[in-house]
Amino acid sequence: MFSIGELSLRTGVKVPTIRYYENAGLLEAPERTSGNQRRYSRSGLERLSFISHARALGLSIEDIRELVELASDPERPCGEAHHIASAHLASVRARIRKLKKLERELMRIVKISDADCVGECHVIQSLADHALCESDH
């Protein structure tokens, strides 16, 4: 049996965040002591690790809620879980593509202002004039 503080230490998830997950319906409400403090079992620890790992992978609370439900219903987990994971993979890839565009754009802006840093400021000029951009955004 772990207190919320011990659980926090073991998982690296902050105490208020654990309570938040409970409130959001991701984490089952644990037993309480007679004095109303939370006491977690091993399964609570495992569930929290699951949530924390999924969050680290960037899945939304909503996605995780769904995965948690699937996990507790062994009849129909795999297809849908797979769907959630691969949808998320696609969105991660889209974000990478977008950030790479930004990277190129920013490199250009920074490089120009490196080369020629007198008079008018090129950073500000480049930011002001979208027409100078190489890609759309």
Q: Is 62 in the site for DNA (CB under 7 A)?
A: yes
End-to-end CA distance of the chain: 52
Rounded alpha-carbon distances, angstroms, from residue 118 to 65, 89, 115, 132: 55, 45, 9, 19
| Other beta carbons within 10 Å of 48 | 24
Work out what residue 37 binds among a second copy, DNA, none; the CB cut-off runs from 5 to 8 Å by kind: DNA
| Neighbouring C-alpha atoms within 13 Å toward the C-beta of 112 | 16
Q: Which one of residues 58, 65, 115, 134 is an interface residue with a second copy (CB under 8 A)?
A: 58
Q: Which one of residues 20, 39, 61, 77 is an interface residue with a second copy (CB under 8 A)?
A: 77
- Residue 34 or 118 having the CB closest to a second copy: 118
Q: Is 75 in the site for a second copy (CB under 8 A)?
A: no
Sole window of 1-9, 16-24, 30-38, 91-99 interacting with a second copy (rule: CB under 8 A):
91-99
Report which of 98, 11, 93, 94 is spatially closest to residue 55, judged by C-alpha positions.
11
φ, ψ for residue 2 (rounded to 5)?
-110, 145
Q: Is 96 in the site for a second copy (CB under 8 A)?
A: yes
- The H or E element spanning position 59 is none
Q: Which one of residues 35, 78, 115, 134 is an interface residue with a second copy (CB under 8 A)?
A: 78
3-state secondary structure of 39: strand
Work out what residue 5 binds among a second copy, DNA, none; the CB cut-off runs from 5 to 8 Å by kind: DNA
| Positions that interact with DNA (CB under 7 A) | 3-6, 8, 14-17, 19-21, 33-38, 55, 60-62
